Structure 1
Amino acid sequence: MFQEDRTTALASAAAGNGHPDTGPPPGRVIAALSVAVLAYGLLQTLVAPALPTFQRHFEVSGDWAAWVFTLYLLSGAVLTPVLARFGDRRGKRRTLLASLAVFGAGTLLAAVAWNFPLLLLARAAQGAGAAALPLSFGIVSALLPPQRIGRGLGIVSAMIGAGTGLGFVVGGLLVDHASWRWMFAVLAGVIAVAFLLVARWIPDDTARRDEPQDVPGTILLSLGLVALLLAITQGSHAGWLSTPVLGLFLAAAVLLAALAVAEKRTPHPLLQPRVFLDRPMLLTHCAAALFYAAALIFFLLVPMLAQLPAGGPERAVQGFGFTVTAAGLLMLPSALLQVLMAPLVPALERAFGHRAPLLGGLLLVLAGSLALALWHATPLQVLADSVLLGGGAAFSFAALPSLVVRFAPGHAIATANGLNTVVRTVGGVIGTQVAIAILSTHSVTGSALPSEGAFTVVFTLGAFFAAVGVTVVLLLPRTAATR
């Protein structure tokens, strides 16, 4: 679609909610959805500082403790496209409220968990929170006046990066000075505020599409994603060429290929082929995966570097010896920068075209990753590098939903953003797992510490992902084809 076609599609998506100019106040819509997405952003990194604490408290191995993080990724990957599609069919507001309710219940259960299996069950329930992202983007596109959609998407998107950065700070403060249970209590408070604001300020969808649930597609997608993510997360522990991991990769390939065939044949697919097979959409999803692979290397490995001891053995990387709190504060400027820069994306789109914000964002992530590879010896160097990465993440986070809205069918915006969210997750898991594998296989002899060269390689890997992402964005059409 050209810009005018996109505006027409978005205006028609608001049908049944009143004309966009006479709809709910845009400020209230953006505020309510921003809190919902902030909760999702917090969830991504809030527990990262507490993984060693979980291991000690519940007396489990490090591999089992890692499941506190992995299980949320698995459930989120499965639930997000299903809930997003349900929102497009039966109403985005009611689906968002339901996902927030499950998210909040899981978070409260995690706060009071008295054994490790219960904590894992709670983390699985928290995966429903990931659906807040595509549903919020769909609501913005449906309720806001056309001239406010770009800015609304930018502001809501900024909350992902802000929440991701703040998660380290809040998690670190509470782990260092209180109890890990307070992490979940604080998050539950944010979710409760989001639920109340969405219930009060977001009008109900009046349009419904009474379509049957695509049960085969749901099963194939769920099993395929679980197999893929399990293969990626277990590869660094069990061995990438081990029989179980190769079996999981093969199963994922077969299941996802079967999904592509099945979705072409069913009249009401969970994922319409245009949502993931059309060239512009496919390129946008690839760019999302590559961006997140590079970004999560930064978000997760910089705090790790900051907490490693200074003055270690020869050839070992020299960390900063920071506490969990101080390591989180090192990430704070990057998070704040994303809030400030993301709203600039619509102006960049108008001035330079719809590809420009994501292209510029990935170029900044590329520059920041290369800077980290070359200069990460002092906190000041890392802070300077994070300015580049934070700016790049801000533009990229805000640009991706805008591109999805541009290229996706008007009636499947939440579904398309749901798939884009899943693709980001897969990209982030790939980036971090490969990075962890590199660090673990390049430890200094007689020490558990990674070598200096290992961190250089890992940050260079982030630059490589960003560089490939730049190439993918350049392949996007300069103007969207008319549908």
Structure 2
Amino acid sequence: MSVLRVPSWATMGILTFCGMVVSLQQTLVIPLLPDLPEILDVSADDASWLVTATLLTGAVATPIVSRMADMYGKRRMLLVALGVMTVGSLIAALGGNFPAMIVGRAMQGFGASLIPVGMSIMRDQLPREKLAGGIALMSATLGIGAALGLPLSGVLYSAFGWTSLFWFTALVGAIFLIAIPLTLDESTQRFPGRFDVVGALLLTVVLVGLLVPLSKGASWGWTSGEVIGLTTLSLVCLAIWVPLQLRMREPMVNLRTAFRRPVLFTNISSYFVGFAMFLNSLVTTQELQVPTETGYGMALPVAVAGLVMVPGGLMMLVFSPISARMLNRWGGKTVLLTGGVVMGLTYLWRMFNNDAIWEIMLGNMVVSVGSAIAFAAMPALVMASSPRSETASANGVNALVRSMGTSSGSAVTALVFASLTVTVNGAVFPSAQAIFTANSLGMAVCVAGVLFGAIIPARRPGEMDDDGIVAGPAPAREVVKEVQEKVES
């Protein structure tokens, strides 16, 4: 199949919309959760697995698919992940029962790997002057899709029923399965080798053993046998996996690269920023939807509350090109710190200002701006300190760490909301103290993110690698290899 010659903006657009579909399908089902027990004839706890299943497969698939992209071809693995996600949407739409929904939602989780693989394709195909903008825009899709998913879900559900959510993602996925082979070349940057099957299996156990307790700990009990057993299993497998990866010539995750100071501290900072970004959505949703009798709620319907949150997602889109200019002018470290400071100060402001809808909307928007700025810097810093042979893999690990941050944010915030409550007309809601505590927690994790970001090795403003990414030089062997390739071509 011949590939159409498309301008760089079209390449950016295709990959960005792929990322947006991923974040959309992760949030589309959330407004249905109150109705799904009746629709599928299951308990509310069982219905929550429809979110957990996507989270788990996304966390597992992201590092594995990203590693395979470096080895077997980035466009190829992009299509594989997109195909699995699309088939999963069809299974959920056609099945009409709980087992089919679980299978479909689990398969949809594979779409999470599209974002780091898409960023690595941008590194290979975009011209130097466009790369920072592409990375910033791709990073912002996480927040844009999440913000747009809530109101879109309400519209589709009300107009066409619950299956329309899955038909929608299946249709969009099918369109991209046709468009990508026609418009994107397979990357010439490929580093074949032996895939680390044992490392992948151990990593799967580590992630499942850690994420399931985070997701289900509130309902199971944090001291329950299930939580303690799975966490112990995860830690044991982690203790086996780390030495194994360090000994392997072609490991699942190159920990030596991951432990480099720029990559390590960027990933740690990413964890806290991911935590703070997701906490923003949880707090804003409570403030907008709970009854006014709680002392802080606005009592808005779900659809209206979703519309109020849309500007936050749009701000991430608007600030993507601005973040790219900041990245090129100031460097990744400064941009990351700027985003963290903006988020932290906004959480401080929100602790004392949530008495009106405009204050809640403004707080949500400014936290989204800070998220967009910080998210633009993370992949740039990681890629610039990683060899080309590990571009997708390094991005995948960073995306995984951010996902761990959002999962932790969800679990900890749920614990805060469950611990500090108020009863209104027989129903239990988070109290005003819970919202104050959650905003305080948001400020604290932003401070932690800034502190770890501050110890990333400093770069001179404007210092770039050969791709135009703000960071230090590539390893010597990578430079030599690229020069040889250019001479041969």
TM-score w.r.t. the length of structure 1 is 0.91
Q: Could you tell me which amino acid in structure 1 is paired with residue 336 of structure 2?
A: L
Taking the aligned partners of 1:400 and 1:317, their CA distance within structure 2 comes to 38
The structure with higher relative contact order (CA 8 Å, sep 6+) is: 1
- 8 A contact 2:81–2:113 mirrored in 1: yes
What residue in structure 2 maps to residue 333 of structure 1? 311
Taking the aligned partners of 1:44 and 1:375, their CA distance within structure 2 comes to 30
How much is the aligned-residue C-alpha RMSD, in angstroms?
1.9
Taking the aligned partners of 2:166 and 2:51, their CA distance within structure 1 comes to 14
Give the alignment of 1:19-418 within 5 angstroms. Answer: 25-310=7-292, 312=293, 316-418=294-396
What residue in structure 2 maps to residue 453 of structure 1? 433
Percent identity reads 31
- Aligned-pair distance for 1:24? 5.4
Taking the aligned partners of 2:227 and 2:58, their CA distance within structure 1 comes to 21
Q: Could you tell me which amino acid in structure 2 is paired with residue 402 of structure 1?
A: A
Q: Tell me: CA distance 1:219–1:60, structure 2 relative to 1, closer, same or farther (3 Å).
A: same
Taking the aligned partners of 1:207 and 1:137, their CA distance within structure 2 comes to 13
Taking the aligned partners of 2:428 and 2:324, their CA distance within structure 1 comes to 47
Taking the aligned partners of 2:136 and 2:8, their CA distance within structure 1 comes to 13
Gaps of 5+ in 2: 460-470, 476-489
- Aligned-pair distance for 1:352? 2.1
Q: Could you tell me which amino acid in structure 1 is paired with residue 329 of structure 2?
A: A
Taking the aligned partners of 2:162 and 2:285, their CA distance within structure 1 comes to 18
Taking the aligned partners of 1:108 and 1:421, their CA distance within structure 2 comes to 26
- 8 A contact 2:23–2:146 mirrored in 1: yes
Q: Could you tell me which amino acid in structure 2 is paired with residue 232 of structure 1?
A: L
- Aligned-pair distance for 1:346? 2.8
Q: Tell me: CA distance 1:272–1:24, structure 2 relative to 1, closer, same or farther (3 Å).
A: farther
Gaps of 5+ in 1: 1-22
Give the alignment of 1:435-474 within 5 angstroms. Answer: 435-444=413-422, 447-474=427-454
Taking the aligned partners of 1:371 and 1:194, their CA distance within structure 2 comes to 41
The list of structure 1 runs, each at least 4 consecutive aligned residues, that deviate by more than 4 angstroms after superposition, is none
Taking the aligned partners of 1:431 and 1:116, their CA distance within structure 2 comes to 27
Q: Could you tell me which amino acid in structure 1 is paired with residue 311 of structure 2?
A: P
**More moved, 229-238 vs 285-294:** 229-238
Structure 1 residues 405-436: Cα deviation after superposition (integer angstroms, max 9, x where no partner): 11222211110111111111111011111111
Taking the aligned partners of 1:459 and 1:61, their CA distance within structure 2 comes to 31
- Aligned-pair distance for 1:259? 1.4
Taking the aligned partners of 2:222 and 2:261, their CA distance within structure 1 comes to 30
Q: Could you tell me which amino acid in structure 2 is paired with residue 387 of structure 1?
A: M
- 8 A contact 2:287–2:360 mirrored in 1: no
Taking the aligned partners of 1:413 and 1:210, their CA distance within structure 2 comes to 13
Structure 1 residues 353-379: Cα deviation after superposition (integer angstroms, max 9, x where no partner): 221221111111112222222222221
- Aligned-pair distance for 1:207? 4.9
**More moved, 299-308 vs 45-54:** 299-308
Taking the aligned partners of 2:22 and 2:152, their CA distance within structure 1 comes to 14
- Aligned-pair distance for 1:43? 1.9
Q: Number of residues paired by the alignment?
A: 459
- 8 A contact 2:21–2:169 mirrored in 1: yes
Q: Could you tell me which amino acid in structure 2 is paired with residue 324 of structure 1?
A: V
- Aligned-pair distance for 1:284? 1.1
- 8 A contact 2:246–2:256 mirrored in 1: no
What residue in structure 2 maps to residue 10 of structure 1? none
- Aligned-pair distance for 1:265? 0.8
- Aligned-pair distance for 1:317? 4.5
**More moved, 241-250 vs 412-421:** 241-250
- The DSSP-based 3-state class of the residue aligned with 1:52 is coil
- Aligned-pair distance for 1:481? 5.2
- 8 A contact 2:296–2:354 mirrored in 1: no
